[in-house]
């Protein structure tokens, strides 16, 4: 299965942008890049996904490198409610279409 590598933890200040990186050097051509986040004591929630082009939605933006070996989840203005564990997941033929979570990045947002 294609794997992802994320930093264990990151810190940000409230109202500042946050860039959460993810490396996936063994991504296959049919794998989509998905991001989920898990707030304290909650189940994970879908954030965004993309294949090749950058994507935007109301929660975040996803920037995908041209070679697709890395991606960055961008929170444009972090709030205290964005403090969570963020998971980068590859989903597609290379991952057998299984939604497999790693350890993720614990984001701390300072007031």
Q: Which residues bind other proteins (CB under 8 A)?
A: 32, 34, 36, 41-46, 49, 85, 87, 91, 96-104
Nearest to 108 by CA among 10, 8, 28, 6: 10
Q: Is the CB of 18 or the CB of 87 nearer to other proteins?
A: 87
Q: Is the CB of 52 or the CB of 96 nearer to other proteins?
A: 96
Q: Sign of dihedral through CA atoms 79, 69, 8, 35?
A: positive
Q: Is the CB of 17 or the CB of 102 nearer to other proteins?
A: 102
Transcribe 69-87 into DSSP letters: SEEEEEESS--GGG-EEEE
Least spacing, CB of residue 99 vs other proteins, in Å? 6
Least spacing, CB of residue 17 vs other proteins, in Å? 25
Q: Is the CB of 76 or the CB of 103 nearer to other proteins?
A: 103
Report the distance separating Cα 90 and Cα 82, nearest Å.
Answer: 22
CB contact at 8 A, 25 and 69: yes
Least spacing, CB of residue 41 vs other proteins, in Å? 8
């Amino acid at each position: 299965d294609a794997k992802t590598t994320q930093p264990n933890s990151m810190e940000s200040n409230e109202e500042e942008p946050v860039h959460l990186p993810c490396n996936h050097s063994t991504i296959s051509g049919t794998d989509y890049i998905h991001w989920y986040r898990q707030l304290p004591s909650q189940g994970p929630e879908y954030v965004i996904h993309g294949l090749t082009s950058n994507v935007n939605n109301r929660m975040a933006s996803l920037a995908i490198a041209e070679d697709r070996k890395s991606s960055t989840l961008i929170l444009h203005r972090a709030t205290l409610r964005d403090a969570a564990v963020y998971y980068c997941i590859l989903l597609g033929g290379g991952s057998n279409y299984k939604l497999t979570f790693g350890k993720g990045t614990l984001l701390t947002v300072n007031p």
